Amino acid sequence: MVAVCRLVSGAYLAWAYHSPVRAGHVAYPFTFTLLWLSVFGNSALYEIIHGGAAFAEEAMVHPERGFYSLLAQYPAFTFSASVATITGLLFYVTSADSGALVLGNFTSQLKDINSDAPGWLRVFWSVAIGLLTLGMLMTNGISALQNTTVIMGLPFSFVIFFVMAGLYKSLKVEDYRRESANRDTDRDAGASGSPELEKTSLAPDELSGHALH
């Protein structure tokens, strides 16, 4: 599931920033995710290792309560729980919005690369994603989806490696084109300032005067 979300996010970023890739757009989300998993993951392991049997059992029986149970072990629970809830809400809303945008662009004929799908199509995909999620929650289909994700995780990892290789190749080609354009620009600038070009740009009588001297 995370891999699919990353692919959708990658397609959205490719649409939003198709000109030179900016390091911050890649580094900031990765750094935030790394810090989040490192801090809260290690905190949960610390609680379990140091006698938090009740916390471990509650996290296993009720996974949706595990994160808030971890936050309850520390001071200012109300504030931290509120910040975590708002952060998670923003994550899901922005992910759904970017997913609806990408699906809308995939299922419509765009006039050019700078245009987007019509608004009604993005609303349709947003509603469809919301209804699908609600239906899976009501029919307890989340566990089946989780099992499918685990089974498909290993084969799909090879697809991710191919995507990484393709991205690396595309970036190398883009760098080569940029360097070629810069060399052509420098060559044109040097040619415009060369004495031979200045001499040929003189009038015929000026050329004869230079020849006499």
Single-letter residue type at 6: R
> ∠21-185-18 over CA atoms, to 5°?
20
Please state at what angle helix 77-106 crosses helix 119-138, rounded to 10 degrees.
Answer: 120
Q: Tell me the angle at which helices 23-49 and 63-71 cross, rounded to the nearest 10 degrees.
A: 90
> What are the CA-CA distances from residue 105 to residues 64, 138, 175 (Å)?
34, 30, 27
pLDDT of residue 199: 46
Q: Please list, in sequence order, all residues whose beta carbon lies within 8 angstroms of the beta carbon of residue 100, skipping any fewer than 6 positions away.
A: 122, 123, 125, 126, 129
pLDDT under 70: residue ranges of the chain: 1-26, 141-142, 186-213
List the domain boundaries for the chain. 1-14+30-74
- The whole-angstrom separation of Cα 138 and Cα 127 is 16
Residue pair 108/118 in contact by the 8 Å Cβ criterion: yes
Distances (CA, A) of 133 to 21, 83, 97, 120: 33, 24, 14, 20
DSSP 202: S
